[in-house]
């Protein structure tokens, strides 16, 4: 691929689980040398979640971990051991960025707060990604994506109006919110350092990043005093708008009609049934006031056809529609993803072949891609400690006997 844009940038990476590792994953795919720092007391939880091969135990078979950590290196280091702290400070001294998504104050308790790190490397860039951010009564709260999205109001707005709120799926902010905020902040800090020679301390509140996903809810309350709540798959701007069952087990098509032209296109696709040309369904207001009956009539038509056929017919008549795809559809049947070469096959020593997604953006001259499998537990100890930190063979052996590499 030639030289990648982040080559020459080294990240001492204390992130784990989802949001933090997703941010450093992006930079690793574009050439940064990301060194995951773990210990037996603080192993990345993702290593043992959602195993791809449940019959084969190990720290490298988790599909979640492998998706989040391609292109990275990994070391294990006991940060409760004085020599472990000594070594991690030596690593930070030759790094550009230090990243973590621990709870507020955790790095300070380890003696690795920003004020200490700038003494080691004055132009270091440090990014902390606590749940709530520093200061305030909740600054030491811990949590994960589900708790963050609930606190930020997303659960209140997601689901059906007659049922309890549900999460927005796949912990939305761990995948599409926090990581891109963090990546952008790190790139901005690198740009600033290139211009001024000075580092930065970035503090990203995952809670506040989640609130950015609310769309117009805050504005609606500010202007109208209205609290937006759950509407299921319905839209306040038109009907039909929802997900309709199709032929086959658990097969669905999403349909969105928000104009008279789209409604006429839907009618033509369905063969202009009598009920669509007369009565209450001829106007937007009539369709919205009788949406339950409308949904039932449309589903009578969709249920006799495959989701792919419904999608093709509706799109052919100018109606926004899309098959609700599952994992098999994405990997095997989606022509757009194949044309974009989105999925990358990587071979894992413990898990065999697995597919991971590339990034959603591509640079024309330097297209980053997942370049190697997610690292095994402590896979790069010798490389990092012997080649980067220049420990002699005897020193390395002594540290190992002292339990530093745990």
Domains and CATH numbers, the chain: 10-213+340-401 (3.40.50.10540), 241-326 (3.30.1540.10)
Residues 6+ away with beta carbon under 8 Å from 100: 13, 14, 15, 20, 106, 107, 127, 128, 129
What is the structure's pLDDT at 56? 61
Q: How many CB atoms lie within 10 A of CB 326?
A: 12
Q: Which two tokens stand for residue 205?
A: 């509140």
Mean pLDDT of 25-29: 97
Confidence of residue 307 (pLDDT cuts 50, 70, 90): very high
Confidence of residue 169 (pLDDT cuts 50, 70, 90): low
In the predicted model, what is the mean pLDDT of the chain? 93
* pLDDT tens digit sequence for 216-231: 899 999 999 999 999 9
What is the structure's pLDDT at 216? 87
* CA pair distance 107, 342, nearest whole angstrom: 36
Q: Comparing C-alpha atoms, which of 67, 23, 74 is closest to residue 375?
A: 74
* pLDDT tens digit sequence for 105-148: 899 999 999 999 999 999 999 999 999 988 899 998 888 888 88
Confidence of residue 170 (pLDDT cuts 50, 70, 90): low
Confidence of residue 175 (pLDDT cuts 50, 70, 90): confident
* CA pair distance 323, 275, nearest whole angstrom: 25
Q: Comparing C-alpha atoms, which of 152, 140, 281 is closest to residue 213?
A: 152
pLDDT at residue 54 greater than cutoff 60 = no
Least confident among 137-146, 252-261, 298-307: 137-146
Q: Comparing C-alpha atoms, which of 257, 284, 265, 287 is closest to residue 275?
A: 287
Q: Give the catalytic positions in this structure.
A: 174
3-state secondary structure of 201: strand
User: β-strands 352-357, 200-203: how paired?
Assistant: unpaired
Confidence of residue 55 (pLDDT cuts 50, 70, 90): low
Q: Which two tokens stand for residue 15?
A: 């992130």
Q: Which two tokens stand for residue 203?
A: 């503090």
Helix axes 260-269, 307-316, angle to 10 degrees: 130
């Amino acid at each position: 691929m030639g030289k990648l844009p982040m080559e020459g940038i080294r990240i001492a990476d204390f992130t784990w689980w989802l949001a933090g590792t997703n941010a450093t994953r992006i930079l690793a795919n574009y050439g940064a040398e990301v060194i995951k720092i773990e210990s037996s007391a603080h192993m990345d939880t993702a290593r043992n979640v959602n195993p791809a091969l449940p019959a084969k135990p190990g720290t490298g078979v988790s599909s979640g971990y492998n998706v989040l950590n391609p292109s990275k290196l990994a070391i294990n280091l006991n940060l409760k051991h004085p020599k472990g702290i000594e070594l991690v400070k030596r690593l930070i001294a030759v790094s550009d960025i230090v990243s973590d998504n621990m709870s507020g104050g955790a790095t300070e308790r380890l003696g690795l707060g920003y004020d200490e790190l700038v003494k080691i490397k004055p132009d270091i860039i440090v990014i902390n990604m606590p749940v709530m951010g520093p200061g305030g009564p909740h600054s030491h709260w811990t949590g994960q994506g589900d708790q963050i999205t609930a606190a930020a109001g997303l659960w209140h707005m997601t689901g059906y109006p007659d049922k309890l709120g549900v999460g927005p799926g796949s912990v939305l902010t761990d995948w599409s919110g926090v990581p891109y905020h963090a990546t952008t902040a790190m790139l901005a800090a690198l740009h600033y350092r290139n211009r001024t020679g000075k580092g930065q301390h970035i503090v990203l509140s995952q809670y506040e990043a989640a609130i950015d996903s609310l769309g117009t809810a805050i504005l609606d309350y500010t202007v109208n005093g209205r609290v937006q709540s759950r509407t299921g798959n319905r839209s306040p701007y038109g009907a039909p708008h929802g997900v309709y069952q199709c032929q086959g087990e658990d097969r669905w098509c999403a349909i969105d009609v928000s104009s008279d032209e789209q409604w006429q296109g839907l009618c033509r696709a369905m063969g202009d049934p009598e009920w669509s040309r007369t009565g209450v369904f001829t106007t937007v207001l009539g369709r919205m006031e009788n949406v339950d009956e409308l949904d039932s009539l449309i589903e009578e038509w969709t249920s006799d056809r495959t989701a792919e056929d419904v999608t093709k017919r509706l799109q052919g008549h100018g109606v926004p529609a899309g098959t609700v795809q599952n994992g098999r559809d994405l990997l095997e049947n989606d022509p757009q993803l194949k044309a974009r070469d989105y999925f990358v096959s990587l071979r894992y020593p413990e898990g065999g072949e697995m597919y991971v997604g590339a990034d959603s953006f591509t640079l024309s001259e330097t297209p980053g891609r997942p370049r190697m499998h997610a690292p095994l537990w402590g896979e790069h100890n010798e490389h990092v400690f012997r080649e980067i930190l220049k420990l002699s063979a005897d020193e390395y052996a002594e540290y190992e006997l002292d339990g530093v590499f745990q």
